[in-house]
Amino acid sequence: MKTQTKSKKVNKAWLHDHVTDPYVRLAQKEGFRARAAYKLKELDEAFHLVRPGQVVVDLGAAPGAWSQYLRRRFAPKHAGAGGAAVGELDGTIIALDLLDFEPIEGVTFIQGDFREDQVLKQLEDALAGRPVDLVVSDMAPNLSGIASADAARIEHLVELAVDFARQHLRPEGALVAKVFHGGGYDPLVQLFRQTFRVVKAHKPKSSRDKSAETFLVGLGLKRT
């Protein structure tokens, strides 16, 4: 009974924090599907990542807030209240996730597991040989609560994103990947430094203070 009571308290506290969160309210007001849109917005403003005409791959895209933000950036004159701009799209957005999400006009969505070769092939087919300007990854595994196992799962997903970036990014392209402070953090920073000419770690203000998440930004591939 004590465990159940504690769980109810935790859920009630989370719900209170969520409802009163200024970024949740702002997302509802501006038509974004999740507050996560403001994380990408802050990263974009800090590092000048998104420009019209780009080819962008959005990994771990559900429920679609990052793709919505990208869509608005590619058609800023036509932004509406629905969270994504409408009309002609000056750029290409390919989104991928295990979970389905409501379609966004002009966004190509692939449902599947990024760790599977068949899904990766679908993504490559959608690119049709075009080099990628920007890869954004909000991927995160289902956490077990076992620190070592969770760190390994997170590290694996980021490694896959880096490998994809190595193969498909333009030389001046960029990768943004969500990581978590913990046992696997330093090796991932090292991996980024081995891969990119400039590496920055950035925790957006819109990322909750209690969260261990941060984002690694890699700019410009190193020549191999």
- Residue 76: asked if its preceding bond is cis (omega within 30°), the reply is no
pLDDT at residue 104 tops 70? yes
The pLDDT confidence band at residue 8, using thresholds 50, 70 and 90, is: low
Catalytic residue among 77, 178, 200, 203: 178
Q: Please give the pLDDT value at position 86.
A: 57
Q: Please give the pLDDT value at position 7.
A: 52
- Is 64 annotated as belonging to a binding site? yes
- Cα separation of 94 and 109, whole Å? 6
DSSP-H helix ranges across 59-103: 65-74
Compare 191 and 78 and report the one with higher pLDDT. 191
Q: Please give the pLDDT value at position 71.
A: 94
Q: Please give the pLDDT value at position 106.
A: 92
Among 4-13, 38-47, 98-107, 134-143, the range scoring the smallest mean pLDDT is: 4-13
- Is 150 annotated as belonging to a binding site? no
> How large is the angle between the packed helices 65-74 and 37-47, nearest 10 degrees?
50
Compare 92 and 26 and report the one with higher pLDDT. 92
Q: Which residue in the block uniquely carries the two structure tokens 């990994």?
A: 59
Q: Is 178 considered catalytic here?
A: yes
For residue 68, CA distances in Å to 8, 65, 119, 203 come to: 33, 5, 22, 21
- Cα separation of 17 and 35, whole Å? 13
pLDDT at residue 62 tops 90? yes
Among 5-9, 36-40, 160-164, 180-184, the range scoring the smallest mean pLDDT is: 5-9
* Model pLDDT for residues 175-199, shown as the tens digit of each residue: 999 998 887 899 999 999 999 999 9
* Model pLDDT for residues 14-30, shown as the tens digit of each residue: 344 555 688 899 889 88
Any idea what the Cα angle at residue 152 is, between residues 151 and 153, rounded to 5°? Answer: 90
- Cα separation of 222 and 42, whole Å? 25
- Is 21 annotated as belonging to a binding site? no
State the pTM of this model: 0.86
- Is 66 annotated as belonging to a binding site? yes
Sign of the torsion angle spanned by Cα atoms 155, 217, 206, 64 = negative
Instruction: Please name the amino acid found at residue 15.
Output: L
Determine contact, residues 215/176, Cβ cutoff 8 Å: yes
Q: Please give the pLDDT value at position 127.
A: 97
The percent of residues in the chain predicted with pLDDT above 70, rounded, is 85
Which among 154, 197, 194 is positioned nearest to 177, based on CA atoms?
Answer: 154
